[in-house]
Structure 1
Amino acid sequence: MATAATSTSLKACPDADGLKELASRRTGLSDFGDPGRDTGLKVFSAALRDEVWSGMPDPARAQVVEYAVHLLATRLKLVDDRQRYPQIAQEKIVRPIIVIGPPRSGSTLLHTLLSLDPEAMAPEHWVCLEPSPPPALGPPSPERLDQAERRMMAMFDRIPDIFITHPYMIEEGAGALAECGSDILNMVFSCQQLWCLYRAENFRRYLLEADHSGAVGFHHDFLQHVQWGAAGGHWALKGSDYLLRLEATAAQYPDATLVWTHRDLAQQLGSLANIQAILCRAAGEPLAGDAREEVGRLAIEHQRASFEKGMRARDRLGEDRFLDISYHDVMASPVRTVERIYERSGRHMSDAHRAAIHDWLEQNPQTKHGVHKYSTDEFGLGAEATNRQFRDYVERFGFGYGLHPPLSA
């Protein structure tokens, strides 16, 4: 696969304008759409230059430049498609179900169960990686799917251990369900995954402090792009960083059902810290010892800050916008848990959907691809300290280290 690094020096980190120029050369296009959607790109490229670039080996530099240029090239194509086919902008996104819980809280499993509804639409990796031309113009060619598959796997070349924690990517490849953050909002550089991969602190602060309305507007445009020509249905969506942009999401989708997933923090945070230590290999070499522990601890603190931001937004939006779902309920009574979500969203759960869930669970037992092993001790996690650090969250929802409410499903 040709890379942007072949046309630019790896000595200096390209700035936002330089990356856009490379994307324009690749596509022959120049309209990136609303300039208000460039804020994340400017912050990310500056943070990459100032905090990360000097310590990156050349292969990591080449990979991040290629990734950024591809994201920007995809944006150019989406804007061009929207101008060519004005019908796209007429699509209405009605009553989506959005799973907003944090990473490792059972949100991927729940999203999968929701996506099994024959009436539901859920984005897959291939359409996020290669969305142009619009799917309404015809099914994707084998070449297009293969290109998406190769791009997806190339992204993980430097972090092969990710397949231990996300084994479905091996089996389903580019047909796996996509996330709103890491697979859609990455195109406007407003997703948590970019911080997880490259650990730029200024970018993390941007995620926690910025108004992400422009990015969420892009998300809406993307759903319109994919929905155009589809046979009805509702969106089933999921993103592990929605807590960073709850108010913008609620404003963009005022009729959405917002599903906040929760899990015993001993399980959720231990898994999260381990995955963070895996992901940051994208910027350099594998971590061990104190460096690995430090990365895990920062991931846990970032989760606390995300919870705080999400809870403040929830206070302003009102409790009636949210439905809390326990990971432990999903595991104990998956069909009844989905029924609760449908009841809240004013929908009827069909027999076909129930049957699809039963079939999927039978074919995909929890240990199908082995067990994700991690040690909470490795990251200094203990019940007393963790519950103190997450006190506001524990008191509000009843989930803590070694704590979760009784099963309700």
Structure 2
Amino acid sequence: MALHDELMDAARAATGLEHFGERSFEEGLEILTRALRTEARLNATGQATLRGLLVGLLSQRLQVEDWYRRHPEIDDEQIVAPLIGLGLPRTGSTALSFLLAEDPQARSLRMWEANAPCPPPSVGEGVEDRIDRGRTEVEFRTKTSPRRGRLVPASATGPTECQSLMALDFKAHYFQAFAHIPTYSKWLLESPDLATTYRYELRVLKLLQWGFPNQPWRLKCPSHLLFLDQLAEVFPDARFVMTHRDPAEVMVSVADLYAAVARSYSDDIDLPYLGALNVEHWSVGMERALAFRDKGGDDRFYDIDFRSMQRDPIGEVTGLYTWLGEPVTAAFGAGMRRWWEENAQQREANVHPDPATFGLDIDEIRPLFAAYTTRAAQWTTRETSTSGAEGHGHHGD
């Protein structure tokens, strides 16, 4: 029996459920499992963890479909005008997502519910258990990879990227951070139509929203850069906040993060491969993002420079909210200040290995991103900040 069939059977056995919904996920699952078996060089921890992850994702999908079968009215939920964060990884987008999560008038995708959306949060069943599991995961992650814990803030009740929801369709970038799977990475970059992935994400967001008053969603994932056409097809009224930083700095930083993650699961890490993989994926992603903005998407974007975010985070969010036409309430402002101050001590000084560790030459990276760097400088420059402080934010040309 093929591994992907075995994993699907394991999920059926674990849940007692049969129906996975549309079959769009099967191609990615098959390519991923083949790559994990033939390419990944996983250690025992990696094999157990990745198997658990995949069976868990399939089990979540079975449960999502079961809830829809029993409550078809879930599909009537409307996800209106979400704000979606994107940009290269390591550009301050995680910190921005945590600040936005302090808005009591908005709704973020929280780690515990992204990892286990069922039962829907409005039902109230098992919420504390899922939060506890999320806390255990963060503790395990920090213990097994202290550097990963320092590089990326994480909280069971805090916001998380869309990766876990995209992974339910088995088209997600985060698999390649866990393991060396070049055939899957190549397929993900070149082949699939992610409209199915985003439709499934929308399906899960409706489930998470069901039973609650509608609040605007705040979502975030760097990978969206690569698939903006499909993202905009599924979320036609979405607006985007894009964070910016020198791509040469970013490539070393993200390769360093991939290595920190992969070391938990493999004893054979190819550092130059991680450097080349990230340069390829993010340079292609940025070409696609520029093309999307050039063909009329620019007015849907608000741009924030990494240095401005570090210097005046509350001012940058205030400028973003002015653009959205939404207020920064006193409670929101106080929550942002509290989060920023509490996390200031944990923020690691940005010290990364020599680029050569990852086979990277900064002078060779810069030309690949030259068009983006020029545009980013235009996007993030304005004469006066809406926050009243020096800053860089922008809403299209």
Identify the TM-score tier after normalising by the shorter chain: 0.7 to 0.9
CA shift digits 1:125-169 (9 cap, x unpaired): 111222211111126453343234445656777645421312x33
Q: Does the residue aligned with 1:274 lie in a helix, a strand or coil?
A: helix
Question: For 2:24, what is the secondary structure of its paired residue?
Answer: helix
Deviations 1:281-301 (A, max 9, x none): 2441164xxx32442233233
Q: Could you say what secondary structure the match of 2:240 adopts? A: strand
Structure 2 counterpart of 1:192: 173
Pick aligned residue for 1:34 from 11, 22, 25: 22
How do residues 306-321 of structure 1 correspond to structure 2 at under 5 angstroms?
306-321=285-300
Is residue 246 of structure 1 aligned with residue 228 of structure 2?
yes
Work out whether 1:81 is the aligned partner of 2:67. Answer: yes
Q: Is this contact kept in 2: 1:63–1:155, CA < 8 A?
A: no
Q: Describe the shift of the 1:135–1:391 C-alpha distance in structure 2 as closer, same or farther (beyond 3 A).
A: same
Question: For the structure 1 residues 264 and 16, does the alpha-carbon distance in structure 2 shift closer, same or farther, using more than 3 Å as the test?
Answer: same
2:116 corresponding residue in structure 1: 130
Give the Å deviation of 1:275: 0.8
Corresponding residue number in structure 2 for 1:270: 252
Correspondences of 1:79-158 after superposition (within 5 Å): 79-138=65-124, 140-150=126-136
In structure 2, the CA distance between the partners of 1:157 and 1:86, relative to structure 1 (3 Å rule), is: farther
Provide the C-alpha distance between the structure 1 equivalents of 2:322 and 2:26, rounded to a whole number of angstroms. Answer: 39
CA distance in 2, matches of 1:27, 1:163: 32
Q: Secondary structure at the match of 1:35?
A: coil
User: What code does the residue aligned with 1:193 have?
Assistant: Y
With 379-388 and 355-364 compared, the bigger mean Cα shift is at 379-388
Q: Distance in 1 between matches of 2:205 and 2:28?
A: 20
Deviations 1:32-67 (A, max 9, x none): 011123332122122223322xx3333322221111
- Whether contact under 8 Å (1:276, 1:296) holds in the other structure is no
Q: CA deviation at 1:380?
A: 5.2
Structure 1 stretch displaced more, 318-327 or 237-246: 318-327
How far apart in 2 are the matches of 1:84 and 1:224? Answer: 15
Structure 2, gaps ≥5 residues long: 383-390
Query: Residue 237 of structure 1 aligns to which amino acid in structure 2?
Result: L
2:262 paired residue number? 280
Q: Which stretch shifts more, 43-52 or 194-203?
A: 43-52
Q: Which string of whole-angstrom CA distances, capped at 9 and with x for unpartnered residues, describes residues 163-220 of structure 1?
A: 1312x33xx3x22321102x22122211111012112112112222221000100100
Q: Which residue of 1 aligns with 2:375?
A: 396
Pair 1:364–1:278, CA change in 2 (3 A) = closer
In structure 2, distance between residues paired with 1:300 and 1:322: 24
List structure 1 runs of 4+ shifted beyond 6 angstroms: none
State the partner residue of 2:33: 45
Helix, strand or coil for the counterpart of 1:117? coil
After superposition, the CA RMSD in angstroms is: 2.5
Which SS does the other structure have where 1:255 is aligned?
A: coil
Partner residue, 1:379? 358
- Given the alignment of the two structures, is residue 338 of structure 1 paired with residue 317 of structure 2, yes or no? yes
C-alpha deviation, 1:405, in angstroms: 5.9
- Contact persistence 1:276–1:299 (CA under 8 A): no
Per mean C-alpha deviation after superposition, the further-off stretch among 388-397 and 139-148 is 139-148
Contact 1:114 1:236 in 2 (8 A): yes
Matched, 1:20 2:2: no
User: What amino acid maps onto 1:74 in structure 2?
Assistant: Q
Identity %: 29
TM-score normalised to structure 1 length:
0.85
* CA distance in structure 2 between the partners assigned to 1:139 and 1:118 by the alignment: 23
Distance 2:119 2:381 in 1: 47
**Alpha-carbon distance in 1 for matches of 2:368, 2:22:** 40
> Distance in 2 between the 1:157 and 1:43 partners?
31
How far has the Cα of 1:106 moved from its partner? 0.7
- Partners of 1:286 and 1:176 in 2: CA distance: 32
**Residues 139 and 333 (structure 1), Cα distance of their counterparts in 2 relative to 1, 3 Å cut:** farther
Partner in structure 2 of residue 237 of structure 1: 219
CA contact (8 A) 2:145 2:260 kept: yes
- Judge conservation of contact 1:376–1:382 (CA < 8 Å) in 2: no
SS of equivalent to 2:174: helix
- Separation of aligned partners in 2, 1:156 and 1:38: 32
